[in-house]
Amino acid sequence: MPEWPEMDTYRRLLSPLVCGRTIQAVEVNREKTINEPVDVFQSALTGRKILFVERRGKHLLFHLDDGHRLLLHLMLGGWIYYGPESEPEREDSRYQVILELDDGNRLFFGGLRLGYLHRLTAKGAQEHLKDLGPDPFDPRLTEEAFTKRLGKRRGKLKPTLVDQKLVSGIGNCYSDEICFDAKVLPMAQIPDLSEETKQRLYHSMRQVLEEAAANGGYMDHKFSADDTFVGGFDEMCRVYDREGEDCPRCGTPIRLEHVSSRKMFFCPSCQKEQ
């Protein structure tokens, strides 16, 4: 699932390409992906200008010149492709929604079997996102604020880190990478964590997410025909999807277990309970 680094990468890549562009045509190949009848969706978007692209947690918001927003959540397996033509190995019909822009390029939204692209009013978008926790880099989310929020929780660490009400944007991959960087087990009980460990988690969160975004995240879908950036962090993951490989810190084989029906990858040697 695309997380904070992937969605912020999309935001940064899309902004100079689509901001100021007018949507000339809209193709919908799966009505369940949108939130209104196809003809209404197409009519409402045709002729609209994209003003800017915003990210909120794992969501992107395309701000339109009529005050509406296009709210995108890629969920499991979704991706974005940009260019005059679709990817050579995929027919246009494989994309759930396609937006044609006034410069001849198109935005392709694929893999949205669980994801969605909804047209909402500003108020509707705000209501939809009201329960999201703060952004990991929100200036108000200081070390003290983070440790206080975390300290109020009970249960195991990983399910808490991926709870979007705690901090928005962290999912399966980066929760494991953050725990590894902070040298704490993802199944650790939060009430047992020391204040020093909570502080390490805060700094690891910011460091891991920043490094991942700087290297294009871990997604393996190209953004455009000449893209060599997106997915660059995949080979840099220390523990995620590395079962059986040597820990880069101590050499112990990385282990895979499950907590709350989620996979968790960790080093059983150099990650501790507290």
Interval 22-27 mean pLDDT: 98
The answer as to whether 137 is a domain residue is: no
- Cα 241 → chain centroid: 17
Residue 161 host element (H or E): helix 157-161
Of the candidates 102, 128, 154, which is a domain's last residue? Answer: 128
What pLDDT, on a 0 to 100 scale, did the predictor assign at position 209? Answer: 98
75-109 pLDDT tens trace: 988 999 999 998 877 777 789 999 999 999 999 99
Task: Indicate if 88 and 176 belong to the same structural domain.
Answer: no
Interval 212-225 mean pLDDT: 94
The answer as to whether 156 is a domain residue is: yes
pLDDT cut 70: percent of the chain above it = 100
The answer as to whether 273 is a domain residue is: no
Kindly tell me the burial class for residue 58, based on how many C-beta atoms sit within 10 Å of its own C-beta (0-12, 13-18, 19 or more).
buried
Task: Indicate if 173 and 219 belong to the same structural domain.
Answer: yes
Closest residue by Cα to residue 164 from 79, 58, 11, 60:
58
How many residues are recorded in the chain? 274
What pLDDT, on a 0 to 100 scale, did the predictor assign at position 261? Answer: 83
Task: Indicate if 112 and 82 belong to the same structural domain.
Answer: yes
CATH number of the domain that residue 112 is part of: 3.20.190.10
The answer as to whether 136 is a domain residue is: no
Of the candidates 76, 96, 128, which is a domain's last residue? Answer: 128
Which residues are catalytic, by number?
Answer: 2-3, 58, 262
What pLDDT, on a 0 to 100 scale, did the predictor assign at position 220? Answer: 83
pLDDT value at 237 more than 80: yes
Of the candidates 104, 128, 152, which is a domain's last residue? Answer: 128
Closest residue by Cα to residue 247 from 148, 176, 158:
176
Q: Residue 130's pLDDT band (boundaries 50, 70, 90)?
A: very high
10: containing domain: 4-128
pLDDT value at 69 more than 70: yes
pLDDT value at 274 more than 70: no
What pLDDT, on a 0 to 100 scale, did the predictor assign at position 1? Answer: 80
What pLDDT, on a 0 to 100 scale, did the predictor assign at position 50? Answer: 98
Residue 26 host element (H or E): strand 23-28
Task: Indicate if 43 and 107 belong to the same structural domain.
Answer: yes
Q: How many structural domains compose the chain?
A: 2
What pLDDT, on a 0 to 100 scale, did the predictor assign at position 177? Answer: 98
The answer as to whether 133 is a domain residue is: no
Task: Indicate if 123 and 175 belong to the same structural domain.
Answer: no
Interval 134-150 mean pLDDT: 97
Nearest-angstrom CA–CA distance, 91 and 99: 15
Task: Indicate if 91 and 207 belong to the same structural domain.
Answer: no
CATH number of the domain that residue 177 is part of: 1.10.8.50
The answer as to whether 272 is a domain residue is: no
What pLDDT, on a 0 to 100 scale, did the predictor assign at position 273? Answer: 74
Task: Indicate if 237 and 262 belong to the same structural domain.
Answer: yes
What pLDDT, on a 0 to 100 scale, did the predictor assign at position 76? Answer: 87
Task: Indicate if 124 and 239 belong to the same structural domain.
Answer: no
Task: Indicate if 161 and 258 belong to the same structural domain.
Answer: yes
Model-level pTM? Answer: 0.95
